[in-house]
Amino acid sequence: MTASILDLHGISRSYSTRQGLFGKKVPVHAVDEVSLSLKEGQTLALVGESGSGKSTTGRIALGLERPNSGYVLFRGTELPAADTPAWRRMRAQMQMIYQDPLAALDRRLSIIDQVREPLDIHDIGSASKRNNKALAMLDAVGLNASHATSLPYQLSGGQRQRAVLARALIMQPALLVCDEPVSALDVSIQAQVVNVLMDLQKELRLSLLFISHDLKVVRQVSQRMAVMYLGRIVEFGETHLLLSSPTHPYTKALVSAVPVAGRRTRERIILKGEPPNPAARPTGCAFHPRCAIARPECVRVSPTFSTLPDGRSVACHAVHTNPPTKEVGS
C-alpha cells in the first residue's frame, strides 16, 4: 500500500456573485464536500465539464485558494496559509501547469532564463550550475540548446508546453497539478507531451493531479479518476473500471460521448438539457434534471456515497439500492 501524497478532506469553496447588475448576492458552490486522495507516484484524473469545479479543486490542492471548510493534507501535514514562508517552502514541492503555455510564459524572456528562474529565486547552487541544470531539464523534456535561447513566440505550441513543464519540474517537485495540459495541442504534438510527462513521472516519481475533459488522454495517463458534476464527485475509482463499466448515469453519458475514430454506429447516450448553472444548483442530486433514471427521491435527497465491491465510490440513489453485481462479467 503506497502512502498518499495529497489528501483532500471534505473541502468546499463558494463564491458570492450578484444575480443581475443590482441583484442580491447569492453564493455559488464551486466545490462542495470533495474528498480525494492521490497516492505517491500515481496519477489521479479529475474529469468533468466546465463549471464542475475541477480547476478550483486543483487550486485548492495547491493552497492557491482556501477552502471554506475542509482541509488539505500534503504528505500528512496540513497546508499552511498561502503567502507565508512555510507555504512557500512547501510550494516548491508542488507545481502547476496550465492549458495555454503562451500565457504562462514571459514573452520577453528567453526559455532558459524562465526555466532557470525558480532556481534563481530560491537561490539554489552557483550561477553556472543553475544554467547547466536548466539545460539538463530542457534536454529531459526534449528541447535543445537552440530552443533554450529562443523566445516563446519562436517555439511551437508543443515545444512551449514542454518548456513550461521543464520550468515546473526544475525544483524537483513531488506533486504536479496539470490543468488541461494537452487540450490546446494538435494530436501529433499531444502524443509527444503525454509521453514526456509519463516518462518524467516514472523517472522522478512524480505524483500527478491531472485535470482534463479528454477521457482518451485520462485513460492513457491515470490510475484513478474522479468524475465531478456541479462541484461534487459523482464517481471515484480506478480509471479502467470507470471507463469500461461506468456506474453513475453521468459517467455513463460522458464515456459514451467520447468520439472514437473508426467507430460509427453505436448507441450514444444523448443527455437532455445543458449543464446547469452552479448558481442555480438543482435540489437533491444535481444531475437529476438530465438523468434518464431519475426517481422522485433524486429531486429531494442528495445521494451519499456507496462503495462497490471493486472499491469504487458512487453517489447515486439507483446504484445504492441496486448493486450492479450482474455487470461484473462484462
Instruction: Pick the binder of other proteins from 23, 76, 85, 259 (CB under 8 A).
Output: 259
Cβ closer to other proteins: 174 or 234? 234
Rounded to the nearest 5°, which phi and psi values hold at 292?
-75, -25
Residues 133-192 that bind other proteins (CB under 8 A): 156, 158-159, 186-192
SS3 13: strand
Cβ closer to other proteins: 146 or 188? 188
Cβ closer to other proteins: 135 or 185? 185
Residues 97-126 that bind other proteins (CB under 8 A): none
Residues 44-103 that bind other proteins (CB under 8 A): 49-50
DSSP secondary structure letter of residue 243: H
Cβ at position 127, least distance to other proteins in Å: 33
All three cell numbers of 268: 450514444
Residue 168 neighbours by CB under 8 Å, 6+ apart: 95, 96, 97, 176
Instruction: Pick the binder of other proteins from 81, 145, 257, 293 (CB under 8 A).
Output: 257
Angle between helix 157-169 and helix 127-140 axes, rounded to 10 deg: 130
Residues 182-221 that bind other proteins (CB under 8 A): 186-192, 194-195, 213, 215-217, 219-220
Rounded Cα gap, residues 99 and 44, in angstroms: 17
Contact 98, 104 (CB under 8 A): yes
Candidates 13-21, 35-43, 112-120, 271-279: pick the segment binding other proteins (CB under 8 A): 271-279
Residue 248's nearest CA partner among 271, 264, 266 is: 271
> By CB under 8 A, how many residues form the interface with other proteins?
39
Question: For cell 539554489, what's the residue?
Answer: 124
Residue 309 interacting with other proteins (CB under 8 A): no
Q: What is the biggest distance separating any 2 CA atoms in the chain, rounded to whole angstroms? A: 68
Cβ closer to other proteins: 256 or 302? 256
Instruction: Pick the binder of other proteins from 223, 256, 302, 306 (CB under 8 A).
Output: 256
All three cell numbers of 54: 475541477
E strand or H helix at 87, and its extent? Answer: helix 85-91
Residue 230 interacting with other proteins (CB under 8 A): no
Candidates 109-117, 126-134, 257-265, 278-286: pick the segment binding other proteins (CB under 8 A): 257-265
Rounded Cα gap, residues 43 and 307, in angstroms: 21
Cβ closer to other proteins: 1 or 260? 260
Candidates 64-72, 202-210, 251-259, 301-309: pick the segment binding other proteins (CB under 8 A): 251-259
DSSP line for 31-73: EEEEEEEEETT-EEEEE--TTSSHHHHHHHHTTSS--SEEEEE
Cβ closer to other proteins: 207 or 220? 220
Contact 69, 234 (CB under 8 A): no
Instruction: Pick the binder of other proteins from 6, 254, 315, 316 (CB under 8 A).
Output: 254
Candidates 76-84, 120-128, 256-264, 305-313: pick the segment binding other proteins (CB under 8 A): 256-264
Rounded Cα gap, residues 12 and 56, in angstroms: 10
All three cell numbers of 319: 446504484
Residue 268 interacting with other proteins (CB under 8 A): yes
Please give the residue ranges that form the binding site for other proteins (CB under 8 A): 49-50, 156, 158-159, 186-192, 194-195, 213, 215-217, 219-220, 243, 253-254, 256-264, 268-271, 273-275
